[in-house]
Amino acid sequence: MSNRVLVTGAAGYIGSHTVVELVKAGYEVVGVDDFANSTPDVLKGISSILGFEIPFVEADCSDMSSFSRVFEAYPDIDAAIHFAAFKAVGESVLKPVEYFRNNLMSLVNLIDLMRSRESGNIVFSSSCTVYGEPDEGALPISETARTKPALSPYGRTKQMCEDMLKDSVRAYGNIKVTALRYFNPIGAHPSALIGELPVGVPQNLVPYITQTAAGLRKELSIFGDDYDTPDGTCIRDYIYVCDLAKAHVRAVDRMLGADGERYELFNLGTGTGVSVLELVNEFKRVTGVDLPYKFAPRREGDIVKVWADASKANKILGWKADTPLGDVLLSAWNWEKKIRNL
Ligand code: UFG
């Protein structure tokens, strides 16, 4: 076994942090990205952290002729972590075909390329969005909770991909899958050499906060203050991207160690729910930076409250997301300052 892990979407937010953790854990990697939602500068950031350039192929995973070149160049791939996908909920409503083509075809191609190999280990990047709004009494939400019809084409692609993987495990004896359902990944590498790079106006809370603190945005709009939560704002489970990256290393360790079932599913969260207002106040506390905000109408399609029961991952993967929220928010702020030369 060569210990080589293919990382699709290696120049993306979670992909780049995972490449760093895989290399630190002793894995060989090969990264793939088409830079549809990232830039080659991310690879420079990874090189600066690691001290060398990772093996990398620029390819579009949804295009078989492009993607298959990776396996020709690196025939020793033992496992694949599949991040490459579009991920903007709102955009997916306007561009469903683009989301289906990219998110579904890239996985179809990956399974097709892996099914005839000796090692067919796939770690799939899924989302807690598959749970929809949890039923009363279902929080923290565990992997046994039923999934709900997706509220967006993006969410639907995650559900469809999980189903495609289950069918493939049944059909192809070498395919083994670990699906990881992420809650809300935030923060940046402590080096501030890689982090989240939203294109245009950020849709997600933490990049909007850091850009507002940096003076790029006038004020944060908090969407809704009249929800059925203690302070009226929505509750999420914010997980540090480096903790999340480490869970991928554990998942690969487990698969290559031939442990576990052929299809496994894990929630990756902290287990703690934090409201938008609590997050804003924690950001102000740890950074000492003022953050202008106003309350705005509810955002359509928002889940009111969701946080993870991550005990399965804690127990079986021997992993826990334990970086304090304040440290995570500081890492996000340090990254914002770095890219804005503040
Ligand atoms: N929010 C604001 N103002 C903003 C941005 C966000 O108040 O400017 C609020 C949202 O209303 C929500 C919370 O901050 O209550 C978190 O919003 P995000 O957009 O950061 O995250 P979401 O939980 O909506 O979505 C994220 C990912 C999706 C994933 C989903 C799963 O972006 O890809 O989690 O629940 F599918």
Kindly tell me if the per-residue pLDDT of 200 is higher than 70. yes
Q: What is the pLDDT of residue 260?
A: 86
Question: CA distances (Å), 45 to each of 60, 191, 338, in order?
Answer: 21, 9, 12
Kindly state if the Cβ of 308 falls inside 6 Å of ligand 1. no
- 242 band by pLDDT with thresholds 50, 70 and 90: very high
**Which amino acid residue places its CA nearest to atom 20 of ligand 1?**
204
Q: What is the pLDDT of residue 280?
A: 98
Which alpha helices (H) appear in the chain, and where do they start and end? 13-24, 41-50, 64-73, 89-94, 96-99, 105-115, 153-171, 205-213, 241-256, 276-287, 311-316, 325-339
Please tell me the CATH code under which domain 4-186+238-270+308-319 is placed.
3.40.50.720
Q: What is the pLDDT of residue 172?
A: 97
Atom of ligand 1 nearest to the CA of 306: 35
Kindly state if the Cβ of 235 falls inside 6 Å of ligand 1. no
Q: Rounded mean pLDDT of 297-314?
A: 96
Nearest-angstrom CA–CA distance, 94 and 153: 9
Kindly tell me if the per-residue pLDDT of 2 is higher than 80. no
- Cβ–Cβ < 8 Å for 82, 125: yes
**Which amino acid residue places its CA nearest to atom 18 of ligand 1?**
204
Kindly state if the Cβ of 236 falls inside 6 Å of ligand 1. yes
Please tell me the distance between residue 205's alpha carbon and the centre of ligand 1 in angstroms.
Answer: 6
Residue with tokens 């480490």: 246
Work out the percent of the chain whose per-residue pLDDT is above 90.
Answer: 94
The predicted model scores a pTM of: 0.97
Kind plus residue range of the DSSP H or E element containing 7: strand 4-8
Average pLDDT, the chain: 96
Ligand 1 pocket test: which of 159, 223, 227 has the largest number of ligand atoms within 8 Å of its C-beta?
223
Q: Is 154 a catalytic residue?
A: yes
Sign (positive or negative) of CA dihedral 100, 106, 109, 111 = negative
Kindly state if the Cβ of 203 falls inside 6 Å of ligand 1. yes
- 136 band by pLDDT with thresholds 50, 70 and 90: confident
Residue with tokens 């990956």: 110
**Which amino acid residue places its CA nearest to atom 12 of ligand 1?**
234
Nearest-angstrom CA–CA distance, 187 and 329: 6
- 73 band by pLDDT with thresholds 50, 70 and 90: very high
Kindly state if the Cβ of 4 falls inside 6 Å of ligand 1. no
Nearest-angstrom CA–CA distance, 253 and 249: 6
Kindly tell me if the per-residue pLDDT of 102 is higher than 80. yes
Q: Which phi-psi region, left, alpha or beta, contains residue 47 (left: φ > 0; alpha: ψ -120 to 50)?
A: alpha
